[in-house]
C-alpha cells in the first residue's frame, strides 16, 4: 500500500476496504473453528439472516448521514409486521395490500417523528426513544390477546423462502455484471466529456473484473445449495436503488449537505426541515420492509418481533462498515457490508454454540472499536484541513 493510500485508509476514505479485510479475517477465524461456516448451506442461511437487518440498515444509513439517530426502527419493524399479519390472517386482506399497509404505517411513523424532530427542535434521540416505547405498546395492542400470529399465505412467506434455479441465478449474475459495467463505463465517458481526468483502462477493468468475480462466486455457492434466494435480490435491489438516490440525485446531495453542516445548507437554500422529514420517512418505510421480510422468514409475528438485539444490529452495521456517526459521510453500501459483518459474527458464534452473553459482548466490542476508528479518522481529516 502506498503512503498516500495508507493516509487515506487512516482518514476513513478507504473504509470499505477496511471492512472487507475485517470480514475476511472473521470468516477465516470461524472457518478454522468450524469447517461448516463456509459451506454453501451455511452461507445461504447467512444471506437469509442478514436480509431484514440489511433492509432496516438502509434507512438507518440515511438518518446517520444527517448526523442523527433513530432508536425506533426495531419497534417500527415489529409493528408493521403485526399490521400486515392481522390484516392478512384475521381480516382476509389481499397479501399485497396487507404488505402495502404495513409499509404505509412505517412511512407515517417516520414522517411523524421527523416532523416532531425538525419542527419543534426536540433531539431525534428523545423523539425516537419515545417512539420505541410507544410503538412497542402499539405492537401489543395490534396483536391483542393472540400473542402470536402464524403466516400461511404463500405470497408473504415466499418472500424469504423462494429460491431460483441455477439457470435463473446465472441470468441474474450476467445482468448484474452487464449493468455494473455499463454504469462504470458511462460514468467514465461523462467525466472525459466534461474535461475531467478519467480512470485508466486498467483501473476500469479491475473494478469490473472484481465485481464479476464476486458475483460469479456468490451465484456458484448459492446454486450449489438451494439456489439464489429472492430475499437476497430484494436486499440488493434496495441497496442499489437507495445508493443511486444518495449519490446521483439532488435529494441525496441535500442529505449529505444537511448532515455536513445544517446551517450552511439552510443558507444555500436547501429546505433542511423538509429533507429531515423525508429521511425519517425513508427510515420508517425501510424498517417496515425489514419487518415484513423478518416475519416472512420466521413464518410468524409475535410480541417479540422487532425486539431483542435487532435495533443494535441495524445501527451497528452501517457504523462498523464506515458510515460516520457525525453525519455527512458514508454510503448505502455500508448497510450491506455492515449486515454481513454483524451477521457473520452472530452466525459464527451460533455455530460454535456460544452463549448470548458472549455474543452481546463481542458485538458491543466490535461496535465500540468501529466508533473509535470513526472518531480517529475524523480527527485525522480535521488535522489535514478536510471536512
Q: Based on the fold, state whether residues 279 and 371 are members of the same structural domain.
A: yes
**Into how many domains does the chain fold?**
2
Q: Based on the fold, state whether residues 255 and 210 are members of the same structural domain.
A: no
Q: Based on the fold, state whether residues 26 and 120 are members of the same structural domain.
A: yes
Q: With 50 as the cut, is the pLDDT of residue 8 above it?
A: no
How would you class 277 by CB atoms within 10 Å of its CB: exposed for 0-12, middle for 13-18, buried for 19 or more?
Answer: buried
Q: Based on the fold, state whether residues 122 and 200 are members of the same structural domain.
A: no
The cell numbers describing 50, all together, are 442478514
Q: Based on the fold, state whether residues 304 and 173 are members of the same structural domain.
A: no
Q: With 80 as the cut, is the pLDDT of residue 153 above it?
A: yes
Q: With 90 as the cut, is the pLDDT of residue 250 above it?
A: yes
DSSP tag of 68: -
Q: Based on the fold, state whether residues 181 and 316 are members of the same structural domain.
A: no
> Do 313 and 60 meet the contact criterion of CB atoms below 8 Å apart?
no
pLDDT: which is higher, 189 or 293: 293
**CATH for 151:** 1.10.3470
Q: With 70 as the cut, is the pLDDT of residue 241 above it?
A: yes
Q: Based on the fold, state whether residues 238 and 222 are members of the same structural domain.
A: no
Looking at residue 2, its pLDDT comes to: 47
The per-residue pLDDT for range 59-102, each reduced to its tens digit, is 999 999 999 999 999 999 999 999 999 999 999 999 999 999 99
Q: Which of 207, 226, 245 is the last residue of a domain?
A: 226
Domain that holds residue 281: 3-165+227-383
> Do 307 and 136 meet the contact criterion of CB atoms below 8 Å apart?
yes
Question: Considering only CA atoms, which of 82, 104, 84 is closest in space to residue 92?
Answer: 84
Determine the 3-state secondary structure of 148 from DSSP.
strand
Q: Based on the fold, state whether residues 361 and 373 are members of the same structural domain.
A: yes
What's the rounded mean pLDDT across residues 183-206? 82
The cell numbers describing 246, all together, are 444518495
Strands 163-164 vs 300-302: parallel, antiparallel or unpaired: unpaired
What's the rounded mean pLDDT across residues 361-379? 76
Q: How far apart are the first and last CA of the chain?
A: 24
The per-residue pLDDT for range 310-365, each reduced to its tens digit, is 888 898 889 888 888 888 888 999 899 989 988 998 899 999 988 888 888 887 88
Looking at residue 387, its pLDDT comes to: 53
187 band by pLDDT with thresholds 50, 70 and 90: confident
C-alpha distances (whole Å) from 297 to each of 47, 231, 305, 351 are 12, 9, 12, 19
Among the ranges given (65-69, 297-301, 314-318, 374-378), the one the predictor scored with the smallest mean pLDDT: 374-378
C-alpha distances (whole Å) from 191 to each of 172, 247, 250 are 29, 15, 19
Q: Based on the fold, state whether residues 10 and 127 are members of the same structural domain.
A: yes
How would you class 175 by CB atoms within 10 Å of its CB: exposed for 0-12, middle for 13-18, buried for 19 or more?
Answer: exposed
Which letter, b or e, does each residue of 217-252 get, where b requires 16 or more Cβ atoms within 10 Å of its Cβ?
A: ebbebbbebbbbbbbbbbbeebbbebbebbeeeeeb
- Mean pLDDT (the chain) is 89
Strands 148-150 vs 300-302: parallel, antiparallel or unpaired: antiparallel
pLDDT: which is higher, 191 or 57: 57
Q: Based on the fold, state whether residues 284 and 361 are members of the same structural domain.
A: yes
- How many C-beta atoms surround the C-beta of residue 123 within 10 A? 11
Q: What angle do CA 26, 29, 33 make, to 5 degrees?
A: 135
pLDDT: which is higher, 362 or 53: 53
pLDDT: which is higher, 195 or 5: 195
Rounded CA-CA distance 8/79 in Å is 42
The per-residue pLDDT for range 127-143, each reduced to its tens digit, is 999 999 999 999 999 99
Looking at residue 321, its pLDDT comes to: 84
Q: Based on the fold, state whether residues 184 and 73 are members of the same structural domain.
A: no
Q: Which of 226, 248, 269 is the last residue of a domain?
A: 226
Rounded CA-CA distance 267/260 in Å is 13
Interacting residues of 85 by C-beta distance below 8 A, sequence separation 6+: 98, 149, 151, 295, 300, 301
Q: Based on the fold, state whether residues 373 and 302 are members of the same structural domain.
A: yes
Rounded CA-CA distance 90/121 in Å is 40
Q: With 70 as the cut, is the pLDDT of residue 381 above it?
A: no
Q: Which of 180, 201, 226 is the last residue of a domain?
A: 226
Amino acid at each position: 500500500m502506498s503512503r498516500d493510500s495508507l493516509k487515506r485508509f487512516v482518514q476513513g476514505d478507504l473504509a470499505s476496504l477496511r471492512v472487507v479485510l475485517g470480514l475476511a479475517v472473521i470468516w477465516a477465524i470461524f472457518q478454522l473453528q468450524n469447517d461448516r461456516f463456509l459451506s454453501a448451506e451455511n452461507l445461504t442461511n447467512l444471506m437469509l439472516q442478514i436480509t431484514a437487518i440489511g433492509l432496516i440498515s438502509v434507512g438507518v444509513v440515511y438518518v446517520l448521514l444527517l448526523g442523527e439517530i433513530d432508536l425506533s426502527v426495531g419497534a417500527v419493524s415489529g409493528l408493521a409486521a403485526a399490521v400486515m399479519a392481522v390484516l392478512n390472517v384475521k381480516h382476509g386482506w389481499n397479501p399485497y395490500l396487507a404488505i402495502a399497509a404495513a409499509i404505509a404505517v412505517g412511512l407515517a411513523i417516520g414522517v411523524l417523528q421527523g416532523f416532531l424532530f425538525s419542527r419543534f427542535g426536540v433531539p431525534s434521540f428523545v423523539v425516537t426513544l419515545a417512539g420505541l416505547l410507544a410503538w412497542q405498546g402499539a405492537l401489543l395492542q395490534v396483536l391483542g390477546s393472540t400473542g402470536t400470529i402464524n403466516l400461511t399465505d404463500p405470497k408473504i412467506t415466499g418472500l424469504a423462502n423462494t429460491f431460483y434455479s441455477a439457470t435463473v441465478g446465472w441470468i441474474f449474475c450476467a445482468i448484474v455484471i452487464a449493468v455494473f459495467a455499463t454504469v462504470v463505463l458511462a460514468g467514465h465517458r461523462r467525466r472525459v466529456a466534461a474535461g475531467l481526468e478519467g480512470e485508466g483502462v486498467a483501473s476500469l477493468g479491475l473494478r469490473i473484473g472484481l465485481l464479476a468475480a464476486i458475483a460469479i462466486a456468490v451465484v456458484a455457492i448459492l446454486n450449489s445449495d438451494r439456489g439464489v434466494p429472492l430475499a437476497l435480490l430484494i436486499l440488493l435491489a434496495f441497496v442499489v436503488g437507495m445508493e443511486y438516490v444518495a449519490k446521483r440525485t439532488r435529494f441525496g446531495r441535500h442529505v449529505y449537505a444537511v448532515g455536513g453542516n445544517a446551517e450552511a445548507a439552510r443558507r444555500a437554500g436547501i429546505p433542511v426541515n423538509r429533507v429531515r422529514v423525508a429521511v425519517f420517512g425513508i427510515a420508517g418505510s425501510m424498517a417496515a420492509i425489514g419487518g415484513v421480510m423478518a416475519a416472512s422468514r420466521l413464518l410468524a409475528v409475535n410480541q417479540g418481533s422487532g425486539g431483542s438485539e435487532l435495533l443494535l444490529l441495524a445501527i451497528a452495521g452501517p457504523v462498523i462498515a464506515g458510515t460516520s456517526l457525525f453525519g455527512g459521510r458514508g454510503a448505502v453500501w455500508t448497510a450491506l457490508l455492515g449486515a454481513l459483518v454483524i451477521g457473520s459474527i452472530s452466525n459464527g458464534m451460533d455455530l460454535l454454540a456460544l452463549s448470548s452473553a458472549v455474543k452481546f459482548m463481542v458485538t458491543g466490542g466490535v461496535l465500540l472499536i468501529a466508533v473509535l476508528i470513526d472518531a480517529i479518522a475524523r480527527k485525522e481529516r480535521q488535522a489535514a484541513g478536510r471536512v
